[in-house]
Amino acid sequence: MAMEKDVIFEMAERYVKATGRSVFLTGKAGTGKTTFLKYITQTTAKRFVVLAPTGVAAINAGGSTIHSFFQLPLCPYLPDVKELITEYQMPERYRSLRKERVKIIRTLDLLIIDEISMVRADLLDAVDMTLRKYRHNDKPFGAVQLLMIGDAQQLSPVVKDSERQYMSQVYQSPYFFHSKALSRLQYVTIELQKVHRQKDAEFLDILNAVREDRMTAQLLRKINERVGVPPVRQEDGTEPIRLTTHNVRADEVNSRKLAELPDDPSLFTAQIEGDFPEHSYPADEVLELKPGAQVMFIRNDSEGKYYNGKLAKVEKIAKGVVTVSDSNGEMIDVTPVEWPNTQYELDDESGEICQNVVGTFRQLPLRIAWAITIHKSQGLTFDNVIIDAGAAFAFGQVYVALSRCRSLEGITLESPITSSGIYRDMHVAAFNEGFMPLETVSYRVELEERGYAFDQYRSVFDFNGACSSLRYMLKLWRGVLSETYPELYAGMEAASKALHDAAKVADTFRQQLKNIESSQAQDDIYLKERLTKATGYFLPMIRTVRDAAMDIIGLEIDNKETKKKVNDVLEELLIEVDIIFNSLENFERGEFGIDTVCRVRTECHLQDRNLARRRKLRKVTRAADEPGIVNEELRDRLQQWRSDRFKADNVPAYTIMHQSTLIQIATLIPSTRQELLAIKGFGEASFRKYGEQILEICSEYKKCH
């Protein structure tokens, strides 16, 4: 991707790509924040999703809304406040995500949030809660790296009056930087400084003064010299776009101007298919146009004919094609384009995070544009503007409006800008004053890269999660496995003890890695030697634990609730053990790359969907390997018979025959009534109901073997 990158841009890139440190990327209007976002999404090897606080912002960023991705309610999230009304607590239905979405969350390396200034503190805390829950990690945001992009001194989050009193009981302010989770997160702030939109030094001084609320009387007089200046019209008659504070003002101007044109209007209705929420519509559902109407393109053209924010005039309308002329007199035929509404999903074959189109919005990429709101102008650039900011009501509106124009000479003010309209939000000011000096951030990037690498190595030798899962597995199995499969249970107990002992040694080795990192010695040979020795020590132990876990895949349990719990914990255990096992195998082969470690972790998290396939493979080999069970085929026949019986009789399977009894029959293969009655758990009543059927199954099995 060919593009100009300065030192700060490259430093931000290193933090995002080569470290695990979260980043708040900020900068004045026109410094390239959107460019950085696009660049990272096109070049990073990390698994990521792009989210935004609003539907339109999400469409523009090429991602999803925060609410839809995490399935969060639109009401405020007020954590740990029991005395507040239930309306503002997280409803239970929002606490469970689809399994597919959970897989994405668990394999996520990087979460990109665009327009972070508009994200409320409570929403960021809801994201934190969700990530920690499904990643089983209590670190802030479940240890996912955050890339937050935006400018706190531009548009602020929206809080309804009805919500404000409740939010104030929990948060110092609604801004994202006052979220409980972010206060626990160690992140770096990187401010892009090179302004690409404006070149005039005097105008930049004015913009910076407005942004930082240090407007002097002299600068204020200078900007107010633009009051009443006749707006510059293009040769084709196109007027400068008017930026207003409220939708109603913009609509009034556009409606009046359109009505003044002589021709009858042409209506263009959007074609909407699938799932596309109304609040995310990127264009008017019904667009009214006339020849002579001033319009603005609202997206970029792949062939470069137009771009988002380009002004034009409608010349003619014929057969569904709208022809417009731009400021250079170029004629452009405009036809409908399609906006996709996408959801993040996992590709079944590659396991990669991909975007699946769930709905489409098809419409002309045009908007009536004699006037638009300041909010809708965010991210756009104009040569000439008329600014109606006399009713500015939100922090940052005046700055956003002024910074849309390339030059001071291109601005016409409808009314003077007053010092009261340029107010300083004390929360934002305090937040900005707390930024770490850029020199410090730059100095630390190499340390962060090294720290990230060692964190990945240390994670391989963290056996504590697997220990916990295995202990819980044994607790669930104690009443089932110990009776039905005593030898397997003994093997699991031995594996649990071995893993517990190995975890203690591994904790010591992780401290050794910490010491190597702290030494600042850049001796990769010594590090690899230590990793190789540790691998030789731990790999046989982990293989034993892994085999023990594999042995219980597919074992039958009569109690459905217990069976579900066991399978859930087994999936978790296999993921944790496989991460360790597969990483150590790579180390054994001399593959020590951090990218390899991260890839293994992702693959292991995705393989839980293959548990059924593992079960089938294990079933083939268990007849020879499983302690106490010789006749695998007979066991399967008996289980099928039992399944058919409980469906026909409409009774629980265990009332027909307990699994432990079934295993004994499959092992001993009784041929007479006395032999069958001698089996524990099979009495006279059972024989009267099922004895002859079971003996027949056993007899048929013997004939074939």
pLDDT tens digits, residue range 239-258?
Answer: 888 998 888 989 999 999 99
If you count DSSP H runs as helices and E runs as strands, how many of each does the chain have, helices first? 28, 20
pTM of the model: 0.76
pLDDT band at 508 (very low <50, low <70, confident <90, very high): very high
- Output the pLDDT for position 82: 46
- Output the pLDDT for position 3: 47
Mean pLDDT check: name the lowest of 333-337, 339-343, 477-481, 631-635: 477-481
- Output the pLDDT for position 419: 72
- Output the pLDDT for position 246: 84
- 191 against 649, higher pLDDT: 191
388 within 8 A of 249, measured Cβ to Cβ: yes
Return the structure tokens found at 496: 């649990």
Identify the CA nearest to 663 among candidates 640, 631, 695: 631
Task: Check whether 294 has a pLDDT greater than 70.
Answer: yes
CA R_g for the chain: 33
- Output the pLDDT for position 320: 79
Can you tell me whether residue 103 is helix, strand or coil?
Answer: helix
- For range 637-664, the mean pLDDT: 76
- Output the pLDDT for position 510: 93
Return the structure tokens found at 261: 């044109």
Q: Do the bridges between strand 411-413 and strand 385-388 make them parallel or antiparallel, or are there none, so unpaired?
A: parallel
Mean pLDDT check: name the lowest of 158-167, 257-266, 419-428: 419-428
Identify the CA nearest to 538 among candidates 492, 503, 512, 566: 503
Percentage of the chain modeled with pLDDT above 90: 30
3-state secondary structure 405-450: ECCHHHEEECCCCCHHHCCCCHHHHHHHHCCCCHHHHHHHHHHHHH
How far is it, in rounded angstroms, from Cα 296 to Cα 309?
6
pLDDT band at 224 (very low <50, low <70, confident <90, very high): confident
pLDDT band at 625 (very low <50, low <70, confident <90, very high): very low
Q: b vs e for 370-384, b when ≥16 Cβ sit within 10 Å of the residue's Cβ?
A: bbbbbbbbbbbbbeb
Can you tell me whether residue 242 is helix, strand or coil?
Answer: strand
- Output the pLDDT for position 611: 54
Look at the alpha carbons of 234, 238, 239, 242 in this order and tell me if their dihedral is positive or negative.
Answer: negative
Task: Check whether 620 has a pLDDT greater than 50.
Answer: no
Residue type, 298: I
Task: Check whether 480 has a pLDDT greater than 70.
Answer: no
pLDDT band at 458 (very low <50, low <70, confident <90, very high): very high
Task: Check whether 173 has a pLDDT greater than 70.
Answer: yes
Task: Check whether 95 has a pLDDT greater than 70.
Answer: no
Where does residue 267 rank: exposed (0-12), middle (13-18), buried (19+ CB within 10 A)? exposed
Q: What is the mean pLDDT of the chain?
A: 83
How far is it, in rounded angstroms, from Cα 680 to Cα 669?
14
What are the tens digits of pLDDT across the range 435-444?
778 888 888 8
Task: Check whether 63 has a pLDDT greater than 80.
Answer: yes
- For range 205-220, the mean pLDDT: 81
Which DSSP symbol is given to 137? -
Residue type, 680: K
What are the tens digits of pLDDT across the range 129-139?
999 999 888 99
Task: Check whether 701 has a pLDDT greater than 70.
Answer: yes
Can you tell me whether residue 78 is helix, strand or coil?
Answer: coil
How far is it, in rounded angstroms, from Cα 481 to Cα 492?
10
Task: Check whether 629 has a pLDDT greater than 80.
Answer: no
What are the tens digits of pLDDT across the range 531-546?
999 999 998 889 888 8
- For range 19-27, the mean pLDDT: 93
- For range 21-37, the mean pLDDT: 89
Greatest mean pLDDT among 66-75, 261-270, 297-306, 476-485: 261-270
